[in-house]
Amino acid sequence: MAAPSDTAAPPVPQPERREALARLDRVCHEIASGNYGNTDDLFALTVDPTAAPIIRELAESFGSMLVQVEAREFRLTGLIEELQEAQRQLEAANRKLASENVELTQKVHTLTIEIDRQRFKREVGEITETDYFQDLQRRARSMRARARGTAEDAQE
């Protein structure tokens, strides 16, 4: 038996095995580029009898990773849709809140005016009910009556 030499060339894969390796390489590049149309080719490599066992194992590992990536993408797509729906609901709630805010602002303004009127009437009422104000009012009436009497006397 001859000892292996250090200068011996590595074994050349058989043409079928080279083809399987090239297929795996092509499919992995396609998938890495986001093109999932050739995934059936990847899964077919997992059971291809002409492919070396290591190629079938690699294809199975890549297929498993692909399934996990697709599952995550599916879940993320669902999350994005949920977030978009939540955004639509928040925008609708915000519009409703803005509308209610306008209505409440108008009501507060109206109530403020009414409160100011009531306060004015109360404060004026407090002033007009004082003895001092009522005395002033009696004097003013008396002065007006005398002024009218003088004006009537002058006309006669």
The pLDDT tens digits for 94-110 are 999 999 999 989 888 88
Written as one letter, the residue type at 61 is S
Residue keyed to tokens 């009012």: 137
By C-alpha distance, which of 14, 25, 11, 19 is closest to 48?
19
pLDDT tens figures, 25-61? 888 888 888 787 878 888 888 888 888 888 888 888 8
Tell me the whole-structure pTM to 2 decimals.
Answer: 0.48
**Would you list the domain boundaries of the chain?**
15-124
Residue 50 sits at φ, ψ, to 5 deg, of: -85, -15
Considering the chain, what is the average pLDDT of its residues?
83
Q: Is the pLDDT of residue 8 over 60?
A: no
Q: pLDDT tens digit string along 115-128?
A: 888 888 888 888 88
The answer to whether the beta carbons of residues 70 and 81 sit under 8 Å apart is no
